[in-house]
Chains A and B, each alone.
Chain A
Amino acid sequence: MHLHHDTEPHGHHGAASGGGHPPVRPDGTRRALRVGLGGPVGSGKTATVAALCGALRDELSLAVVTNDIYTREDAEFLLREGVLAPERISAVETGACPHTAIRDDISANLEAVEDLEDANGPLDLVLVESGGDNLTATFSRGLVDAQIFVIDVAGGDDVPRKGGPGITTADLLVVNKTDLAPYVGADLARMAADARLRRGGLPVVLQSLRAPDGVREVAAWVGARRAAWVAHP
């Protein structure tokens, strides 16, 4: 089903329930924090996931679920990059509707998360990458605890101004490929200002993964969310 429901702004500590997993494991520890990465095609979601894995894998036990639209390309990219062991990467097929699999019917993604934890033991962090979609795609709070929306400067510097649920409600907005700004005539200051205006205080990170340690700020944000998640009563 191809559905376009309106999306409500999300709170900061959405606890997955219902068909999902309770936030606390039977042994009393909190289950893995699940962070969704969404955004338009080609904005750099997979590259950001790969960089995050590289930055966080030494301190956290992590796994990745990809939602490819019609191939296993994203999963295979991560495998090729060698950022994680193959058993820590799972690809979900989405039947031509990537946003359905992350929002309207999350059952396949929940199962992928469950299988990753079965195969790898208790995890600290699961990154769920959506298939490249449009500006309205957001994750269900039944699937992820926090979400990052990734856009890039080459997609047009008016994208933050145009807004949409991903831009306005994601817990973190990433404006990627800032190194390309001079070549595509993108005004970074304007993008940042528009994004802040749209997001009412929610954080925005401008990044270039070409720069050394370019994912540093996003990795720090994820680390802070993870710390808050563990500390949450």
Chain B
Amino acid sequence: MAATTSAYDPGPPPGPVPAAPRAALLVLADGRFPAGGHAHSGGVEEAVAARRVVDGATLEAFCRGRLHTAGLVAAALAAAAALGTDPVALDRAADARTPSPALRATARRLGRQLLRTARATWPHPELDALASAFPRGAHQPVVLGAVVRAAGLDGADAAHCAAYESVSGPASAAVRLLGLDPCDATRVLAAVAPAVDRTGAEAVRAALRVPESGTGALPAASAPLLEIGAEAHAGWPVRLFAS
């Protein structure tokens, strides 16, 4: 490009201490981050087939339900991992909070895929150690927390990323499953965003209690219908999404 004169003055170069990292979180939370999420509906495919999710309003109700149960648990696990809690203990805590074998398998598969991509993206010895400890994959939120550490982000970032993922996955799946107007699906995400923020904050508070009280301090909010639906879905011979 030819040089042109401009009145723009970028000011002095940035100092040695940057502002709190933010862009790395955008990279991680981007729906295009290639870690396998696109093949999963977060239970919305089963809910659509059962006619519990039929439009924007019912999608929003589904997302709120998932956020306050599976989303909260995932956010707290991720925050605890990001704060440096032993991932083996957290993985056991995640197992205990996931009754459905299908959902446990899904969480481990997605954890393994996330770890693969993250090790190429933010190489870090802790991620290598995690891969050695869990060659078949750890629960995705536990991996997410470790990735957040490797990316130089903090526990609140991990919690918000996990909480957001708990609703963004179902919303984009609903667009494909229902032919839902993508603007409606995005409006749903904007509508639940304040609840995502509150859930993230609640998850961080729980995670901060783990060093003193152990993983029992983490929430164990169960969503029985999601668990049952996941088991049913895993047995379908024909489906668009892996879960």
Q: Give the interface of A toward B (CB within 8 A).
A: 1-3, 18-19, 69-72, 92-97, 100-101, 104-108, 110-111
Contact = CB atoms under 8 A, between A and B. Distances in A.
Interface residues of B, number: 28
A3 B40 CA distance: 16
Interface of B: 31-32, 34-41, 109, 112-114, 116-117, 119-120, 172-173, 176-177, 237-242
Given A95-B40, A105-B38, A1 B32 contact: yes
Contact of A107 (B34, B41, B176): B34
Contacts of B37: 105
Contacts of A69: 240
Nearest to A72: B237
Q: In terms of DSSP, what is the predominant structure of the interface of chain A? A: loop
A69 B176 CA distance: 13
Contact of B176 (A19, A96, A104): A96
24 contacts: A1-B31, A18-B120, A19-B119, A69-B240, A71-B237, A71-B239, A93-B39, A93-B241, A93-B242, A95-B39, A95-B176, A96-B176, A96-B241, A97-B176, A100-B38, A100-B39, A104-B34, A105-B36, A105-B37, A105-B38, A107-B34, A107-B116, A111-B109, A111-B112
B116 A95 contact: no
Contacts of A110: 116
A190 to B, nearest CB: 37
A92 B119 CA distance: 22
Contacts of A107: 34-36, 113-114, 116-117
Top 3 A-B pairs, shortest CB-CB distance: A95-B39, A105-B34, A93-B242
B172 A1 contact: yes
